[in-house]
Amino acid sequence: ALGRGALYSSEASAIKRVAVVGGGQMGAGIAQVSATYEHGVTLIDVNHEALDRGHAYMAKSLARVAKKKFPEEPAVAHDWVEAVLGRVRRTTSLPEGVANADLVVEAVVENIAVKQKLFADIAGAAPGHCLLASNTSSLPIGRIAEPLDAPTRGRTLGLHFFNPVPQMKLVEVVRAAETSEQAVGRAVAFVKSIGKAPAVCKDTPGFIVNRLLLPYMMEAIRLLERGVADARDIDTAMKLGAGYPMGPFELCDYVGLDTLKFITDGWFKEGDGLRGDKAFAASGKLDELVAAGHLGVKSGRGFYDYS
């Protein structure tokens, strides 16, 4: 590994080994896509059950991709899936998982205290040249990086993927106040290396996509609460009347209602420029579903029933 502050040739700065922390719907997707594009990947989660869920998610999604890639050749498709999965190592040990990484992407629960602790641990165990990235939907990258020393903050940034990761082409590359130009350049090169399109943006709440999507999703829930129409009709309206691929309730369930609540509660309480913004005020309906454990597609029930 290169030392801190070293100058890099493009070869030395290229990302080859990726560690993904959190094997949920996003982390598994990021690991899958990185492995698909020939990177060596380590997936890290808190226990073996979570890692197994991540593996199952990747296997299912890859089978879908393989069926289209090799429609007439099931044996070739099977071998291709196995080869991609073979590039993803799984571990519950964070220090071991990040020890050789060129890039760590964090995709754990949307909670600032958890992410700050994790970044401090990652910084203590990853090589000095490693990029530290968060897939956070809503938290300031600058705050996640607060516990780190200045050189490490220089190589910390946001890499914000979209759900479903294998299908959505965009990755927002979030430049915090202290992120170095070199780190942004390396991250942009990585995003292109996995067949995605980068959009570089500043570290403001919601970056680009979520700053526009979240008010829309919350207003849809309020339409429902006001009894304007039921969820099915609101979804049909936005799909057929506005050309959206999913209606807002399908999208809420897809994102995860816990994540939606973490995002909006956080912004309402302390989002830069958003504090007290009524667009993000708590919704009784959303709170009720989350309290009942109805988190959307991932738990089998949200606004709709998936069982």
Which of 13, 34, 134, 137 does the annotation list as catalytic?
137
- To the query of whether residue 96 is one of the catalytic residues in this protein, the response is no
Which residues in the 151-170 window bind ligand CAA by CB under 6 A?
A: 162-164, 166-168
Q: Is residue 210 annotated as a catalytic residue, yes or no?
A: yes
Whether residue 129 contacts residue 8, with contact meaning beta carbons closer than 8 Å, is answered with: yes
Among ligand NAD, ligand CAA, none, partner that 166 touches (CB below 5 to 8 angstroms by kind): ligand CAA
Query: Of the listed 61, 210, 283, 299, which one is catalytic?
Result: 210
> Cβ closer to ligand NAD: 13 or 136?
136
In three-state secondary structure terms, 61 is: helix
Binding to ligand NAD by residue 12, rule CB under 6 A?
no
Residue 61 interacting with ligand CAA (CB under 6 A): yes
Q: Does 25 bind ligand NAD (CB under 6 A)?
A: yes
Active site residue 137: yes
Backbone angles phi, psi at 199, to 5 degrees: -125, 115
Tokens of 145: 């990086």
Which residue in the set 156, 259, 283, 299 belongs to the binding site for ligand NAD (CB under 6 A)? 259
Residue entry with tokens 């602790």: 117
Residue 17 corresponds to which amino acid? R
The answer to whether the beta carbons of residues 101 and 19 sit under 8 Å apart is yes
Task: Determine the Cα–Cα distance for residues 56 and 61; give it in Å rounded to an integer.
Answer: 9
Q: How far apart are CA 293 and CA 271, in angstroms?
A: 26
Rg (CA), the chain: 20
Distance CA 47, CA 93 (A): 9
Q: Which stretch binds ligand CAA (CB under 6 A): 187-195, 243-251, 276-284, 293-301?
A: 243-251
Which residues of this protein are in contact with ligand CAA, per CB under 6 A? 61, 64-65, 68, 137, 162-164, 166-168, 210, 213, 245-246, 251, 255
Which residues of this protein are in contact with ligand NAD, per CB under 6 A? 21-27, 44-46, 50, 107-110, 114, 118, 135-137, 161-163, 255-256, 259, 298
